[in-house]
């Protein structure tokens, strides 16, 4: 068994600001909670409402039932679509069955869906920069007929891509990507296809951009970075990568305080702590408490930008 550090050792914990919940995640969770309050349990949710087991399990205790497909839901049930967005075929199938549904898709993801539809209507071939299999990518590609969107994951993909007509080409992106990786891919596409249409406003969401900027700001001041989040959370995994590239010799993802590798932190005097956009602040507090049980802790907040974004709930929940 690994010995924990002696508690008399001092350590500085630098807390990223902003961190944790973004407006889209907060809205999605509110939609489930308000639906449970208004309609009573159970309320079904297609896919994890956000990628965080603590959040999902908390909602399950309140009466939410999480499923992967609509055929797991009874005919008289109420269903919510996750914050990541769904292919058009999903609400169509719900309507065919007469299911009552609420769409918790993040408005910034919906913006990308609208962009894709606009480019398609104009006859453009669409490139989506993103990660294969991620629910957001599945949902975005599912807005249009099969073959209308080409997925590009890497710079190599961008170099190899051959469009039908370079003069009728547009790109969109997943909202939770690495800002730097995406910029490198976009640079290749724009070099190869100077006429490619870009989003009117960057698709990578404000929360992803801000959390990555906060990690970059903290990285030179710390020896290790702890990112609180889930392994299936794209924005959380990107924060781990950003910290590594910014020079943190230890960069680890933890879902809960129990995941902390204390041995990897031996001899380290300054640790950065951040949280992915779907990780609640209670988990940050849990990690801080765990450090206090092992170290003499000094807390410091590293503010980068103040966020004041909020999104309205669906009308059905407002009445």
Enter the tokens of residue 32: 């489930």
Angle at 47 between CA 44 and CA 52, to 5 degrees: 110
Enter the tokens of residue 228: 């609180």
Which among 316, 272, 317, 261 has a CA at the least distance from the CA of 294? 261
Q: Are 86 and 142 in contact (CB under 8 A)?
A: yes
**33 annotated active-site:** no
Q: Which residues 6+ apart lie within 8 Å of 257 measured at CB?
A: 283, 286, 287, 289, 290
> 67-76: b or e for each residue (b if 16 or more CB lie within 10 Å)?
eeebeebeee
Of these residues, 48, 115, 125, 136, which one is catalytic? 136
Residue 91 CB neighbour total at 10 angstroms: 16
Give the CA dihedral 258, 261, 265, 271, nearest 10 degrees: -50
Active site members:
136
């Amino acid at each position: 068994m690994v010995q924990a550090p002696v508690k008399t050792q001092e350590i500085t914990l630098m807390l990223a600001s902003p961190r944790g919940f973004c407006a889209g995640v907060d809205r999605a969770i509110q939609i489930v909670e308000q639906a449970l309050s208004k309609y009573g349990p159970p309320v079904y949710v297609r896919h994890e409402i956000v990628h965080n087991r603590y959040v999902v399990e908390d909602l399950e205790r309140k009466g939410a039932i999480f499923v992967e497909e609509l055929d797991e839901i009874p005919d008289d049930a109420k269903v919510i679509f996750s914050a990541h967005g769904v292919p058009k075929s999903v609400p169509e199938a719900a309507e065919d069955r007469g299911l009552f549904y609420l769409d918790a898709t993040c408005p910034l993801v919906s913006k990308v869906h609208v962009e894709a539809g606009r480019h398609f209507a104009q006859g453009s071939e669409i490139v989506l920069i993103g990660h294969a299999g991620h629910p957001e990518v599945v949902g975005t590609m599912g807005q249009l007929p099969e073959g209308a969107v080409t997925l590009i994951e890497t710079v190599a993909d961008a170099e190899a891509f051959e469009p039908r007509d370079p003069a009728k080409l547009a790109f969109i992106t997943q909202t939770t990507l690495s800002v730097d990786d995406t910029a490198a891919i976009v640079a290749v596409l724009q070099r190869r296809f100077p006429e490619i249409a870009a989003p009117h406003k960057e698709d990578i969401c404000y929360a992803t951009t801000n959390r990555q900027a906060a990690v970059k700001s903290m990285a030179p001041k710390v020896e290790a970075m702890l990112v609180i989040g889930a392994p299936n959370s794209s924005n959380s995994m990107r924060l781990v990568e950003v910290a590594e590239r910014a020079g943190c010799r230890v960069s680890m993802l933890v879902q809960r305080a129990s995941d902390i590798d204390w041995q990897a932190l031996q001899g380290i005097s300054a640790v950065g702590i951040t949280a992915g956009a779907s990780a609640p602040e209670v988990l940050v507090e849990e990690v801080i408490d765990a450090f206090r049980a092992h170290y003499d802790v000094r807390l410091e907040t590293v503010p980068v930008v103040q966020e004041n974004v909020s999104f309205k709930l669906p009308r059905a929940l407002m009445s």
